[in-house]
A and B are shown apart, each in its own frame.
Chain A
Amino acid sequence: MIDRIKQLIAVASGKGGVGKSTVASNLALVLAESGATVGLLDGDIYGPSVPTMFGVKDAKPEMGTTQQSFLPIEALGVKLMSMGFLMPQEEAAIVRGPMVHSYLKAMLDQCEWGELDYLVIDLPPGTGDAQLTLCQGTPLTGAVVVTTPQDVSLIDARKGLQMFRNLNVPILGLVENMSFFECPNCQHRTDVFRHGGGKNIAERLDVPFLGHVPLDPAVVLGGDEGLPVVGRDPESAVAKAFVEVARKVREQAAGLQSSQIPGMTF
């Protein structure tokens, strides 16, 4: 039930392991802390991580106002929905593409999201079933693409950007995650995966660059402890980088109110 959601923001990447769920979780939390009503949909059917990242991995959704609907789980002021709430944690979702489509549609349309300013959708990596289901079936306001700085990730990020362009989904911007590591003792900076590739590619493809997010063990701890780093360690450089990313996303999305394409029946 997405009819009362003002803006739907997809967080995507071409490649797995670039920190998409981390960006999506922190983005949702920053938006919620700024006073907006926010939901976060974990679109990764095979490897849901939102329940762990928000410290609610044992939560189960309650039935909604109809027999076919269910309520999102609320944690840290964000409404959450994930495959992780719908099946036992140790159990793998061994399903083919058409079922991925069905599960995603169910989490979008049967979940009683209520009135939201933002629904952040954490997509699985790639340009396949889940991405197409969301791009074709929902009026996305725009997409944030996450990459790490090395070529092997940038190549796939370009493919993700291309997919959104082909499907007419506005690109809110590109985030360079794991951009560098600053030693907490000597402040020496190491570009673990190289640096700046994200910004270069954003400039080349003429999409907004949303920021460099540093590599910081606090992010991992926040994820495992169930409190994203912007809540766990708000004064850290990485938390400040996420706040800046969220500010830019809000800015970009503000000019792009989710517009419904008109339909017609004769």
Chain B
Amino acid sequence: MLKPITLEKWDHQGITIHWSDGHIGQYRSGWLRAHCPCASCQEKATTHVAPPTGLKLLPMVAPSSEQLASLNPVGQYAYNIGFKDGHATGIFTFAYLRSICECEACRPKGG
């Protein structure tokens, strides 16, 4: 089972995750914020279609900080990642985190 073994921080700017299979993953905090899988961030990221009521939806609040505040484990399968502006609703499963790894080897498929 894929699990993080140790974490290393680069101030507030990012994090290195040493995975149980030996892979060393790199993640900038802004990259993590941009890939937050919470409902609000996903909603913001998708194209909006006008709601059938015609009521205008309020725009999602833009992040005021992309700096990391915390990585709290959720059981054995995910991290709840918090940012300095208080945004902390994203549950990043280990599989998802691994899929968005920014290290040199993963970057081509990670984007």
Chain A residues close to B by CB (< 8 Å):
135-140, 166-170, 259-266
Which of A138, A166, A265 is within 8 Å of B77, CB to CB?
A166
A-B contact pairs, 8 of them (CB 8 A): A138-B75, A140-B75, A168-B3, A169-B75, A259-B76, A262-B5, A263-B7, A263-B79
- List the B residue with the shortest CB-CB distance to A169: B76
Dominant SS at the A interface?
loop
Residues of A within 8 A of B67 (CB): 266
B99 at the interface (CB under 8 A from A): no
Report if A261-B73 is in contact (Cβ < 8 Å); known contacts: A168-B1, A266-B12. yes
B15 at the interface (CB under 8 A from A): yes
Contact indicator B73/A262 (Cβ below 8 Å) = yes
Dominant SS at the B interface?
strand
B74 at the interface (CB under 8 A from A): yes
Contact indicator B73/A263 (Cβ below 8 Å) = yes
B90 at the interface (CB under 8 A from A): no
The docked-state distance in angstroms from the alpha carbon of A138 to that of B6 is 19
State how many angstroms separate the Cβ of A60 from the closest Cβ of chain B.
31
Which of B70, B78, B84 is within 8 Å of A264, CB to CB?
B70
Chain B residues close to A by CB (< 8 Å):
1-7, 9, 11-12, 15, 67-79, 84, 94
Report if A168-B7 is in contact (Cβ < 8 Å); known contacts: A263-B72, A264-B70. no
A260-B73, A266-B12 known; 6 other A-B pairs, CB under 8 Å? A136-B75, A137-B75, A166-B77, A168-B75, A262-B6, A263-B73
Which of B1, B6, B9, B79 is within 8 Å of A266, CB to CB?
B9
Contact indicator A261/B68 (Cβ below 8 Å) = no
- Which of A139, A259, A263, A264 neighbours the largest number of chain B CB atoms within 10 Å of its CB? A264
